[in-house]
Amino acid sequence: MKRIVFATILVNCAGWLAFSQSTEAPPKFEAADIHVSAKIQNPFVRTGPARGGRYEIKYATMVDLIRIAYSFDADKILGGPNWLEMDRFDVIAKVPADSTPETQKLMLQSLLADRFKLVVHKDSKPLPTYALVTGKKPQLKEAEGTEESGCKPASSGAGPGGMRIMVGGAVMGTPGTTQTLTLGPGGTIQYACRNMTMNVFAEGLRGMMGASLGPNPILDETGLKGRYNFDVRWSIGMFGPAMDASDRVTVFEAVEKQLGLKLEERQVATPVMVVESVNQKPSDNPPGTAEALPTPPAPTEFEVASVKPADPGGRGTRYQTQPGGGLTVQGMPLHGLINQAFNINGPDQLVGLPSWADTERFDIIAKAPSVGPTAAAMDREAMAPMLRALLVERFKMTYHTEDRQVPAYSLVGGKPKMKKADPASRTFCKELPPPPGAPPFTRVLNCQNITMAQFVDRLRTAGPELNLGVLDATGIERGWDFSLTYNINFGMPMMMARGGGDVVSAGGGPAAPDPSGGLSIFEAVEKQLGLKLEKQKRTMPVIVIDHLEQKPTEN
């Protein structure tokens, strides 16, 4: 193990030397536009490979931009002003058609230095991780050496209350395919590991479904040098109402009881990137930038689309955007399609639907027009107007928007139990891995130097009741440090079935309440923060469906 760590340090030191001693003029974009990102409901960074000489990053924080430019994990970018993880920017640049991804990273480094006056340096800091060590008696079987090497998820048994999930081929090792697995009691998934060294197992462990072991690499300190065959199973966080909480198995219990190994916490010296200084406002775009980077018109209709009723015996619901502007939908109720078409997150934002809109399911295969490189990064928001036009054409949908009173929530003050923040500290709200033994769907939100106005924006994703947005009515000023642990019942964004029944989409709405008693977001806010979420009536725009045909027109 010491030899491995030493080699890593040498590699990183070489990187530091190259970082600090390079004398060549860094490459630059031919033209670059930087502007503040538009406000959207679900801001997260969007990026992709350059296409047609156009390079785009959207909704990126400065931490995102540094992460992309220097290939550093976000949690290892330290220091800097308090806005580093809050303000978001769009970067659109022109690159030579033959430029490589590595060259584009250097160009982005130059852009950040030129336009934001970014100054960074590399350092080392102890950060938490886990080490895989031997227990009293390892329970591993030596491999023959002829088996295909790897750990693949496998069904963990059915039984009453069993649950099926559909996982993508990237997880199974066969990209482009999907496979249905059956979870065992307690929502356990089984991994079949064959011809595995402990070093490779440790490296891959944190990427396995449900492991939740943090972002840092797992260290192999077992001292075991052979290759082994073994099976291991643990609960991945999905929990059906018919399952017994006593059947849950954490990854820590699984490694210790099933393999005779242990996961122990460690502090390990880790390369980090330290932000010395950076401007919050970028310098203005040079003259001629708009002409050099014309914005392709956003498509409003699909170039081609097939709509047909879903197979009644089909299993699962899928809504997936594809690179190049493709859309694939399987088994989605018409109600769900309309939600996607209007980017609706709450049931009170849409009225006038007939009852059959919840039961009539459809498959759609569609492709956007080739309008330029931006089609490569199309997300659901970009797809929404095209899907809306498709529903108007094929289902003769008519609608209008009107203001109505709808139930929504406000955050009000009580007796705050939060710590006053250092005004100079970084502002963020990050999700942390739940503690061992936590109920499924547990979320841990760690917030630093966050105002209540910023906090209510984060609450939009904390539960289906809050996705209309929460108003800050606390009257509390300045920034605060706090941690919030609560249970969310959205389920996982994959397809599942309980008790051997039909597969349903777990991402389309809240799952059944967790019988183990995790705190709801409402209880957690009151008990842990001393605040309260109160339901109130609020006037908001509502989509009213005036007409909808039950059957689509022919393809």
Joined together, the tokens standing for residue 300 give 């409003």
DSSP state at residue 210: T
Q: Residue 512: its pLDDT value, please?
A: 40
What pLDDT was estimated at residue 85? 94
Under 8 Å between Cβ of 531 and 459: no
Rounded Cα distance between 99 and 126, Å, is 36
Residue 302 structure tokens? 């699909």
| Tens digit of each residue's pLDDT, the chain (555 residues) | 333 333 333 334 434 444 444 567 889 999 999 999 988 777 888 888 888 888 999 999 999 999 999 999 998 999 999 999 999 999 999 999 889 999 999 999 999 999 999 999 999 999 889 999 998 889 999 999 899 999 988 876 654 445 666 665 444 444 455 667 777 777 788 899 999 999 999 999 988 988 888 888 899 999 999 999 999 998 876 544 444 556 788 899 999 999 999 999 999 999 999 999 999 999 999 999 999 998 878 888 999 999 999 988 766 788 888 767 788 999 999 999 999 999 887 778 899 999 999 999 999 999 988 755 444 456 778 889 999 999 999 999 999 999 999 999 999 987 889 999 999 999 999 888 777 667 767 889 999 999 999 999 989 888 778 878 899 999 999 999 999 999 875 433 333 333 333 333 333 333 344 444 578 899 999 999 999 999 999 998 999 999 999 999 998
pLDDT recorded at residue 447: 96
pTM: 0.76
SS3 37: coil
Query: Residue holding tokens 């009515």?
Result: 473
| Beta-strand pair 77-79/261-277 | parallel
Residue 321: its H or E element: strand 318-322
Question: What residue ranges do the domains of the chain occupy?
Answer: 25-118+278-291, 128-268, 304-398, 414-530
What local confidence, expressed as pLDDT, does residue 472 receive? 94
pLDDT of 295 = 82
Kindly state the helix (H) or strand (E) to which residue 228 belongs, with its residue range: strand 228-235
Measure the CA–CA gap between 515 and 241, rounded to whole angstroms: 7
